[in-house]
Chain A
């Protein structure tokens, strides 16, 4: 492939991923509202478009028309920069996640991820830890006590939960013998999903993912009853919308990561025994990735509307006294499995 061809193909992949991601984010907001309504025996948004299907666009339009207020006590440049840091990091994390096996199109061998990086998992970890900067800077630069407390909580929480997240991933990396997401997915052939091999790692990773995305039961940075709106108290208009978008984009990334690392990515067990054509197989595999992601996203929303928020000290003691030892134990467990069964 020439450089031009590589550039064009990459650009197309980026465009597809970004547009899919943006659409999913907007509809995730819609489904969040719908599912919250269902759990409370309500109907949910149903006035804009068919059953409220155009609601996300109405929301965005409304937010764009709002006045953008910058508090006089704030540090203006950082206050403006913070939402975009959060947003850019949230979207760029998605680059390394494969949505399907390599496909051959028009004679090109194309991996279905924007970048096939051989240290993709490290890249994801690095970017998610950068994500805390957006929130902390937003909290600090707003010049408001609620925002500041929200930002501080967020950084403390993310740092504590990143530890157990990293150790849970260590188990996955041990099994796959690689840091590349594509290799990790390929290593989960058949029913050898990491969720089956290392259930403890799966649970600790899922819980850390909840904490990393600031979702309930770990949404202390924006705990409404105590902190008004947390780190985005002083934000309005499109800057507020950016935080909102980033939160949901992070949720999508967390679920994509859970699927890639633990639920076999695009792998469908025993699909090669069915004797389907190659194109059909690939399509089913891509579909299965999205179905799994949708299920995890539903779980995220379902948890949010079922479980109350943790107290701050409970959050910390859970992170350091429970999740951390459990994820360490998981690493040992995986090592023993590898020694005994040579997987």
Chain B
């Protein structure tokens, strides 16, 4: 029977184990003196880059209020059925606004489809990643929690302009 050989058989030095073991040990020793990558979380917080997809929020303009026109596209595209929108009419220039806008944060999968589909750039992914709730009711974020002033989201909006 033909003996099956490996493509690269070990040479004598490698078969002795010792030099290879020494190499491995040197590597781990070197790593002991490298800088640590751990972040001391509650004290030091991670500052995400603009491409980070945190919790989705609604953009709020200083004078005119929310940009959202309640077209309901985000709600339609949401694969997890997390968004609920109810439209109503106003006297303002844009005529429509969301009377009720709720995102169920237990359902949300942070895919960013809502942001991608939005024609008004009204819903964007923020950098907020600290989502804590103690019951399911608290996990449904209404307009009070979703509206965020536009200046806080400038990073993400610039990112979308450049790369979307």
Report which of A35, A39, A41 forms a contact with B35, defined as CB distance below 8 A.
Answer: A41
CB distance from A34 to the nearest CB of B (A): 10
CB distance from B158 to the nearest CB of A (A): 33
- In contact, A43 and B36 (Cβ under 8 angstroms): yes
CB distance from A218 to the nearest CB of B (A): 13
CB < 8 Å A-B pair total: 33
CB distance from A326 to the nearest CB of B (A): 12
- In contact, B28 and A305 (Cβ under 8 angstroms): yes
Note all chain A residues with C-beta closer than 8 A to B29: 39, 302
Q: How far is the CA of A39 from the CA of B35 in the complex (A)?
A: 11
Interface string of A289-318 (1 = CB under 8 A from B): 000000000000011011100000000000
Across the two chains, which residue of chain A brings its CB closest to B18? A203
| A residues with CB within 8 A of B | 35, 38-43, 302-303, 305-307
Report which of A40, A303, A307 forms a contact with B31, defined as CB distance below 8 A.
Answer: A40
- In contact, A303 and B25 (Cβ under 8 angstroms): yes
Q: How far is the CA of A112 from the CA of B40 in the complex (A)?
A: 45
- In contact, B34 and A306 (Cβ under 8 angstroms): no
Q: How far is the CA of A101 from the CA of B3 in the complex (A)?
A: 59
Is B32 engaged at the interface, CB distance under 8 Å to the other chain?
yes
Is B131 engaged at the interface, CB distance under 8 Å to the other chain?
no
- In contact, A306 and B28 (Cβ under 8 angstroms): yes
Is B24 engaged at the interface, CB distance under 8 Å to the other chain?
yes
CB distance from A79 to the nearest CB of B (A): 37
| B residues with CB within 8 A of A | 21, 24-25, 27-29, 31-32, 34-38, 40
- In contact, B21 and A307 (Cβ under 8 angstroms): yes
Across the two chains, which residue of chain A brings its CB closest to B40? A43
Contact A302 B36, CB 8 Å, known A39-B31, A40-B31: no
CB distance from A107 to the nearest CB of B (A): 48
Note all chain A residues with C-beta closer than 8 A to B28: 39, 302, 305-306
- In contact, A38 and B32 (Cβ under 8 angstroms): yes
Note all chain A residues with C-beta closer than 8 A to B24: 306-307
> 14 A-B Cβ contacts within 8 A?
A35-B32, A38-B32, A39-B28, A39-B29, A41-B31, A41-B34, A41-B38, A42-B36, A42-B38, A43-B40, A302-B28, A306-B25, A307-B24, A307-B25
Note all chain B residues with C-beta closer than 8 A to A42: 36-38
Across the two chains, which residue of chain A brings its CB closest to B16? A322
- In contact, B36 and A41 (Cβ under 8 angstroms): yes
Given known contacts A302-B29, A306-B21, A306-B27, what 4 new A-B pairs fall within 8 Å (CB)?
A35-B32, A41-B35, A42-B37, A43-B40
Q: How far is the CA of A246 from the CA of B34 in the complex (A)?
A: 33
Which residue, B35, B36, B37, has most C-beta atoms of chain A within 10 A? B36
Note all chain A residues with C-beta closer than 8 A to B37: 41-42
Note all chain A residues with C-beta closer than 8 A to B36: 41-43
Which residue, B28, B32, B36, B40, has most C-beta atoms of chain A within 10 A? B28
Q: How far is the CA of A248 from the CA of B19 in the complex (A)?
A: 28
Q: How far is the CA of A302 from the CA of B21 in the complex (A)?
A: 11
Across the two chains, which residue of chain B brings its CB closest to A46? B40
Note all chain B residues with C-beta closer than 8 A to A40: 31
Q: How far is the CA of A35 from the CA of B28 in the complex (A)?
A: 10
Note all chain B residues with C-beta closer than 8 A to A38: 31-32
CB distance from B69 to the nearest CB of A (A): 48
Q: How far is the CA of A137 from the CA of B89 in the complex (A)?
A: 78
Q: How far is the CA of A301 from the CA of B78 in the complex (A)?
A: 50
Across the two chains, which residue of chain A brings its CB closest to B21? A307
CB distance from A322 to the nearest CB of B (A): 9
- In contact, B38 and A43 (Cβ under 8 angstroms): yes
Q: How far is the CA of A302 from the CA of B30 in the complex (A)?
A: 12
CB distance from B16 to the nearest CB of A (A): 10
Q: How far is the CA of A40 from the CA of B31 in the complex (A)?
A: 7
Q: How far is the CA of A64 from the CA of B43 in the complex (A)?
A: 31
Q: How far is the CA of A35 from the CA of B38 in the complex (A)?
A: 14
Q: How far is the CA of A42 from the CA of B25 in the complex (A)?
A: 17
10 shortest interchain CB distances as A-B pairs: A38-B32, A306-B28, A39-B28, A43-B38, A306-B24, A306-B25, A41-B37, A42-B38, A43-B36, A39-B31
Across the two chains, which residue of chain B brings its CB closest to A318? B17
